[in-house]
Amino acid sequence: MKNHAQLSQEFNANEPRVNWHDETLWWVRQKRDKAANTLPEWEQLREAASSIKYHTLSNLNDYLQQFEANAEQNGVTVHWAADAKEHNEIVHRILAAEGVNRIVKSKSMLTEECHLNPYLAEKGIDVIDTDLGERIVQLADEPPSHIVLPCIHKKKEEIGELFHEHLGTAKGEADPQVLTAAARVHLREKFLTRRAAITGVNFAIAETGEFVVCTNEGNADMGAHLADVHIACMGIEKLIPQRRHLSIYLRLLARSATGQPVTTYSSHFRRPRAGQQMHIVLVDNGRSTQLGREEFRNSLKCIRCGACMNTCPVYRRSGGHSYHTAIAGPIGAILAPNLDMKQYADLPFASTLCGSCSNVCPVKIDIHDQLYKWRQVLMKDGQGGAAKGLSMKAMNFTLSSPGVYRTAGKAGRWFLRNVPFVVNNPLNPWYKQRDMPEAPKQSFGEWYQQNRKK
């Protein structure tokens, strides 16, 4: 199992590609800034969004039951899944009961988190992802590398190659317009022939029992309105108390994600249409545990806009797949250790703690503080790894004795000046993608001794 550092090293092997990835995401981040700056009330909106989410979490037990009662009154069947396995079993059970073995699915990071696609494949059910980016990574047999831009790591030529192989487009065709048109034809056929559709949920409203799905492509709607069975899968943290609160979140979501004033479609599903079955699966999968971790519970406010990824200097240069979890980037790095501290111990360390993620977060999650706090929890739990443990011990020894500290500093400066090849070589991890500093003639201590009397 490779960790974040090893996986980013692979991503970094191709320098022009890393630069391209970096610049593309930074461009999206700039679009976000422009959109946010058009609203003078942006900061008040963030504050309100954060506060409503916190209130909801503090009363989640009641709101969940209120939502369930209202949804059932609307004619929707509500299911509860304690973990990923139960979620997948419930979905399969619904499909099996209807004798459905081919389905369409719109983007849902929850089903990625639960590994629903491979589970259903094993049961003989064919799943077609209908978001264009997700369909592309599905054809490439890869997971999404970004929650909003699933194939942001792929070049159009690579996508052209995939489409040539799977959809029969011309060899060498790489024009986004032509490729999208081919996907439109390919996916329309799926929408029209599949009897069941799975969608995610962006927001669910306790007061009315309805849920909202936001897309730019319209794929969730094409799937759901043509299918006999609509299954919506949601994490229990997606709830908000009242319908009017949507105004705040819909104003923040797309502006933060892509810089658009709103997604093309913000669809409110309340009742199944005549003759249709509608199911909602409420999934815990570690969320109630995170709710109990005081320092990390704010992470449950996340509305999955991806702004923290687009701005993160580490994400932009290491790629989404280096995070080896469904949700990459800064927010993923605080969600994943909650699920498995051992497996994801590397992720909170994959950050510069620059705070850019917290600054852009539309619901004001203290992301970089949580990354810092996770490091402490993980080190205490013995998940830091031997090298990190040893170097921290050496650091502790050096810093607690002024004599040792002075000698070490002197030795370091001498080596840098006289035998630079001892540190300027690939064995030194600090030398990777970075020049070592020029050694000063004297330390601050020496300078101070010399100048204090002047």
Partner 1 sequence: MTSREKILAAVKKNQPELAPMAEYIQPERAEDLVAKFAIVLDGIGGKAVMVQRMEEIRQHLQEHWLGKGRIVSMVPELRDLGEQPSEVDPHQFENVELAILPAHFAVAENSAVWVTEELLQQRVLPFITQNLAVIVRRERLVATMHHAYELIGNGDYGFGTFIAGPSKTADIEQSLVLGAHGSKSMTVFLL
Q: Which stretch in 10-18, 281-289, 335-343, 413-421 sits in contact with partner 1 by CB under 8 A?
A: 281-289
For residue 23, the minimal CB distance to partner 1 (Å) is: 10
State the distance between the two ends of the chain, measured CA to CA, in whole angstroms: 59
User: HSE of 437 in the Cβ direction (CA atoms, 13 Å)?
Assistant: 5
Determine, following the binding rule CB under 8 A, whether residue 248 of this chain makes contact with partner 1. yes
**Pick 156 or 432: Cβ nearer partner 1:** 156
Determine, following the binding rule CB under 8 A, whether residue 342 of this chain makes contact with partner 1. no
Q: Are 281 and 81 in contact (CB under 8 A)?
A: yes
For residue 347, the minimal CB distance to partner 1 (Å) is: 23
Determine, following the binding rule CB under 8 A, whether residue 288 of this chain makes contact with partner 1. yes
Which pair of structure tokens corresponds to residue 268? 């409110």
**Pick 117 or 258: Cβ nearer partner 1:** 258
Alpha-carbon span 254 to 213, nearest angstrom: 12
Sign of CA dihedral 357, 361, 364, 365: negative
Determine, following the binding rule CB under 8 A, whether residue 261 of this chain makes contact with partner 1. yes
Determine, following the binding rule CB under 8 A, whether residue 448 of this chain makes contact with partner 1. no
Determine, following the binding rule CB under 8 A, whether residue 59 of this chain makes contact with partner 1. yes
Determine, following the binding rule CB under 8 A, whether residue 54 of this chain makes contact with partner 1. yes
Determine, following the binding rule CB under 8 A, whether residue 73 of this chain makes contact with partner 1. no
Residues 175-214 that bind partner 1 (CB under 8 A): 176-177, 179-181, 183-184, 187-188, 191-192, 208
For residue 112, the minimal CB distance to partner 1 (Å) is: 16
Site string for partner 1, 142-171 (x = CB under 8 A): -------xxxx-xxx--x------------
Sequence-separated contacts (24+) of 41-46 with Cβ below 8 Å: 45/248, 45/251, 45/252, 45/362, 46/252, 46/361, 46/362, 46/363, 46/364
Angstrom distances, CA of residue 93 to CA of 98, 105, 230: 9, 16, 13
Determine, following the binding rule CB under 8 A, whether residue 320 of this chain makes contact with partner 1. no
φ/ψ (deg, to 5) at 79: -120, 155
Binding test (CB under 8 A) with partner 1, winner from 6, 14, 37, 61: 61
Alpha-carbon span 272 to 286, nearest angstrom: 29
Binding test (CB under 8 A) with partner 1, winner from 7, 18, 36, 52: 52
Determine, following the binding rule CB under 8 A, whether residue 2 of this chain makes contact with partner 1. no
Binding test (CB under 8 A) with partner 1, winner from 45, 232, 333, 371: 45
For residue 266, the minimal CB distance to partner 1 (Å) is: 4
Alpha-carbon span 349 to 344, nearest angstrom: 10
Binding test (CB under 8 A) with partner 1, winner from 273, 342, 417, 432: 273
Neighbour count for residue 282 (Cβ, 10 Å): 23
**Pick 33 or 394: Cβ nearer partner 1:** 33
Sign of CA dihedral 84, 90, 93, 97: negative
Beta carbons within 8 Å of 240's beta carbon, 6+ residues apart: 52, 53, 56, 203, 204, 205, 206, 246, 249
Decide: helix, strand or coil at residue 106. Answer: coil
Decide: helix, strand or coil at residue 136. Answer: helix
Instruction: Please list, residue by residue across 384-412, b when 16 or more beta carbons sit within 10 angstroms of its beta carbon and e when fewer do.
Output: beeeeeeeeeeeeeeeeeeeeeeeebeee
Decide: helix, strand or coil at residue 419. Answer: coil
**Pick 59 or 443: Cβ nearer partner 1:** 59
Q: Which stretch in 81-89, 335-343, 391-399, 427-435 sits in contact with partner 1 by CB under 8 A?
A: 81-89
Q: Which stretch in 57-65, 370-378, 411-419, 431-439 sits in contact with partner 1 by CB under 8 A?
A: 57-65
Angstrom distances, CA of residue 346 to CA of 5, 10, 18, 130, 195: 8, 16, 21, 32, 42
Q: Which stretch in 274-282, 359-367, 388-396, 407-415 sits in contact with partner 1 by CB under 8 A?
A: 274-282
Q: Are 253 and 207 in contact (CB under 8 A)?
A: no
For residue 239, the minimal CB distance to partner 1 (Å) is: 11
**Pick 201 or 350: Cβ nearer partner 1:** 201
Q: Which of 253, 288, 248, 251 is nearest to 57 (CA)?
A: 288
Binding test (CB under 8 A) with partner 1, winner from 86, 142, 173, 446: 86
Sign of CA dihedral 94, 237, 365, 40: positive
**Pick 293 or 413: Cβ nearer partner 1:** 293
Binding test (CB under 8 A) with partner 1, winner from 12, 77, 216, 424: 216
DSSP 371-400: HHHHHHHHHHTT-S-HHHHHHHHHHHHHHH
Binding test (CB under 8 A) with partner 1, winner from 170, 262, 354, 390: 262
Q: Which stretch in 52-60, 306-314, 384-392, 432-440 sits in contact with partner 1 by CB under 8 A?
A: 52-60
Determine, following the binding rule CB under 8 A, whether residue 55 of this chain makes contact with partner 1. yes
Determine, following the binding rule CB under 8 A, whether residue 405 of this chain makes contact with partner 1. no
**Site size for partner 1 (CB under 8 A):** 92
Determine, following the binding rule CB under 8 A, whether residue 124 of this chain makes contact with partner 1. no
